[in-house]
Structure 1
Amino acid sequence: MNLDDLVFHPWSLQGPRDVPTLVGGSGSYVTDISGKRYLDFSSQLVFTNLGHQHPRIVAAIKEQADRLCTLAPGNASDIRGEAARLIVEVAPGHLGHVLFTTGGTEAIEHAVRMARLYTGRPKVLAAYRSYHGSTSTSIHLTGDPRRWASDTGMAGVVHFFGPFLYRSAFGSATPEEECERALAHLEQVILLEGPSTIAGLVLESVTGSSGVLVPPAGYLRGVRELCDRHGIVYIADEVMVGFGRTGAWFGVDHDGVAPDLLAFAKGVNSGYVPLGGVLVGDEIYDMFTKRPYPAGMTYSGHPLACAAAVGAINAMHEEDTVGAAARLGTHVLGPGLRELAERHESVGDVRGIGGLWAIELVRNRLTKEPLVPMGASGPANAPMVSVAKACLDRGLMTLVLGNRVHVAPPLNVNDSDAATGLAILDQALAVADTFVT
């Protein structure tokens, strides 16, 4: 019996799967049950920012397990407080308190709840081409095909177009035009929906799994100004890009803005133990000093998860992980991926920042027709399945989403391993080229 067949797998067609069984890992590599090693160019789901089995994080978990494995959230905890201190120290603006969750989707749920309680308004704005989680509120906020099967149209969510120059909804020719027109569009959505009905705006600071869309300079500043003007709570979704992934502690840092609430998870402890949270601004925090916050979680601020965060954040400071991520994007992944684009007709666009990049594959560069349609599955998705298989067969774990190959290795990947990953991608893109028309 294959024990994996007993597991009900998320986002998957159920039944036997042809995937390796992973039993070990070290640094940028994982090992399957047969002993074969795979270079992890996805950081799993973009969360092992410090790679696998980082000794500082493992030691922190072990030390906490020897002291106290678990604790109810109503009790004070030294390790929970230390994790909050380290997170607040690197946070932007006046985000001075942390509500701990067990992951990013819960963080988004609670951030939206706080915004609605704070403003007394019902609606929330979110971008198309976004992903915010798979629970009820967060899946409705999501702006890509993963929402379709669950969307009831009753969650008070209004979607808008964010900036995306390669497939501009506004006919823009330059990043500056795209920024200006996207902000004008957002303002029109706010005015037509009625500012007095809008509690919050949820925005990935860099769009992650829906395309790796890096906003043009000034866009986040413009969003901040619109939210201030209309009394809307600005919620930054930093679940994927927070804690160094973009070459800054948080994605909003690139535009020098601070949101009212900031949702995080993944990189806060490299995903070693499930942990997420909401960084809460002072004004919203002050409201809940006068009335209780009407929600909670059994495992909020779990000691083992918080210990992992303390180990991870301290390691990031000591190893300058943020600087390493910036260099990775500027000197290694960016140039390497653009060189691949010059050699392969299937590559329509390469975009990214720090340790988060995407290769968008097309059937025709002139028409920009995607290699597979949006939301493709089954035979329609065969070209991307072939690309993913070409990578895996050669020992490279990638994240293939839609018509894109996402490149997101651990932020401490060395140059030699990065070069190996790019060389395998070169071979896999030759497979994609066979589908070009």
Structure 2
Amino acid sequence: MPVPAADDGRRTYELDRAHVFHSWSAQAALDPMVISKAQGDHVWDADGNRYLDFTSQLVNTNIGHQHPAVVQAIRDQAEELCTIAPSHANRARSEAARLIAERTPEGLDRVFFTNGGAEAVENAVRMARLHTGRHKVLSRYRSYHGSTSTAINLTGDPRRWPNDTGTAGVVHFFGPFRYRSPFYSDSEEQECERALAHLEQTIAFEGPATIAAIVLETVPGTAGIMPPPPGYLQGVREICDRHGIVYIADEVMSGFGRTGHWFAVDHYGVRPDLITFAKGVNSGYVPLGGVAISDEIARTFDERPYPGGLTYSGHPLACAAAVGAITAMRDDGIVANAAEIGATVLGPGLRALAERHPVIGDVRGLGVFWALELVSDRAAKTPLAPYGGTSAAMRELTADCAKAGLLLATTYHRVHVVPACTITADLAREGLAILDAALERTDAHAA
């Protein structure tokens, strides 16, 4: 497919700046890259420059760009049925629900479809509150759950601050994070024990009978890609069972192959009551999210109407894209590829970078879901950018990678290495080599 002419790119840019209001941005400071096409692991800008996509955009193109099976599934569905009200059954939605239910833990066999992850979290919390008759919801600091009203109040990072009404019935607590432990732990085991004790104490002080749900990203995403220590999620499950609290696993970012399993909870052998998903379910080709619902919670609404819905719930084009994506991931071994790339290329490669670059304080991740913690002082763990902000060093790193043909994801003082689950070992190494070279300049900021 030819790259559009530069004149088209200029017009696209001018129209964007004249009429498009961007999310999470001060509008006057924006200078967006015009993307003209994408294919596989690469995107092209309007000037014809090619970039290796180490961002998966917003960590959602798990199957890569323009996968032919998904594109064809959307085409075929458009010819058959573009849209229909959610009160009617349709083939694409039924088949997507079946494929999702086959991959969730046993007993989560019903699926409520939304347009994205934030709506999935909103509806999961609503289900939990109605199921328990309680109102409070617990979520951890260093988390992100979406930008709608309840979801943004659940969020535990600075994006919540301007939107925090303080009236959503949300209570935050500290989750385990060994590198920057709030519990002064000396080991992963100690971090797990102390984090669970802190959660128990929070529940005791808030009143167990007032708490409807605990919402946890299985592996926090934009907050830092922090896999939980062994035993932590099992401990959360036990606490929830003991107090009659609904356990909601937010798998919007970590689900559908990202960590090397279909869902990240599969690494830990736990069964949540509700799982929220979006992003990787169809790689974002058409907006889609949802909630996988346990049999116990689904039965709450057997005779009692569920008071929620969306015009585009289970939209045929979106669900057809999910069917195409999940089928391709299954048939092509894409989830196994993500696990293999993480174990043999990204994990070892990023740890090797940490040995060479003093600016890297920590490496952590699973599958194709990794973070580098950048610091100006390793001993003091001084972040290379302030919490909730950025720095000249981080901007330089991103720009240097882009000049070398690599799209890099950064959040505050961290680099997130999150390519598609389909990436090859050679392309993963190519991306690491570009990052390695760019970090040479960043090292000047380290003590």
Quote the offset at 1:316 in angstroms: 0.7
Q: TM-score, normalised by structure 2?
A: 0.96
Q: How much is the aligned-residue C-alpha RMSD, in angstroms?
A: 0.9
Report percent identity of matched pairs.
62
Distance 2:203 2:117 in 1: 26
| Deviation digits for residues 196-223 of structure 1 (CA, Å, limit 9, x no counterpart) | 0000000000011100000011111110
2:399 to 386, 389, 407: 389
Q: Does residue 1:145 correspond to 2:158, yes or no? A: yes
SS at match of 2:144: coil
Distance 2:397 2:165 in 1: 34
Q: Could you tell me which residue of structure 2 aligns to residue 310 of structure 1?
A: 323
Quote the offset at 1:17 in angstroms: 3.1
Quote the offset at 1:402 in angstroms: 1.0
C-alpha contact (below 8 Å) 2:341/2:424 kept by paired residues:
no
Q: TM-score, normalised by structure 1?
A: 0.98
Q: Could you tell me which residue of structure 1 aligns to residue 276 of structure 2?
A: 263
Correspondence list, 1:142-291, <5 A: 142-291=155-304
Quote the offset at 1:23 in angstroms: 1.2
Q: Could you tell me which residue of structure 1 aligns to residue 101 of structure 2?
A: 88
Distance 1:294 1:120 in 2: 14
Q: Does residue 1:345 correspond to 2:355, yes or no? A: no
Distance 2:231 2:189 in 1: 9
Distance 1:172 1:127 in 2: 18
Q: Does residue 1:55 correspond to 2:68, yes or no? A: yes
2:338 to 317, 320, 325: 325
Consecutive aligned runs of 4 or more in structure 1 exceeding 2 Å deviation: 15-20
Count of residue pairs brought into register by the alignment:
434
Q: Does residue 1:433 correspond to 2:443, yes or no? A: yes
C-alpha contact (below 8 Å) 1:41/1:409 kept by paired residues:
yes
Structure 1 residue identity aligned to 2:408: T
Distance 1:376 1:241 in 2: 24
Quote the offset at 1:15 in angstroms: 2.4
Quote the offset at 1:20 in angstroms: 2.2
C-alpha contact (below 8 Å) 2:178/2:185 kept by paired residues:
yes
Quote the offset at 1:33 in angstroms: 1.3
Q: Could you tell me which residue of structure 2 aligns to residue 101 of structure 1?
A: 114
C-alpha contact (below 8 Å) 1:268/1:312 kept by paired residues:
yes
Structure 1 residue identity aligned to 2:235: G
| Deviation digits for residues 321-352 of structure 1 (CA, Å, limit 9, x no counterpart) | 11111111110100000111111111010110
Distance 2:347 2:15 in 1: 40
Quote the offset at 1:106 in angstroms: 0.2
Structure 1 residue identity aligned to 2:16: D
SS at match of 1:357: strand
C-alpha contact (below 8 Å) 2:86/2:312 kept by paired residues:
yes
1:72 to 85, 95, 102: 85
Correspondence list, 1:365-404, <5 A: 365-376=378-389, 381-404=391-414
Q: Could you tell me which residue of structure 1 aligns to residue 8 of structure 2?
A: none
Quote the offset at 1:16 in angstroms: 5.7
Give unmatched runs, 5+ long, in structure 2.
1-10
Quote the offset at 1:4 in angstroms: 1.9
1:4 to 7, 16, 20: 16
Quote the offset at 1:295 in angstroms: 0.9
C-alpha contact (below 8 Å) 1:244/1:325 kept by paired residues:
yes
Q: Could you tell me which residue of structure 2 aligns to residue 409 of structure 1?
A: 419
Distance 1:240 1:313 in 2: 16
SS at match of 1:90: coil
C-alpha contact (below 8 Å) 1:361/1:432 kept by paired residues:
no
Distance 1:294 1:229 in 2: 28
Distance 2:248 2:153 in 1: 15
1:364 to 377, 393, 398: 377
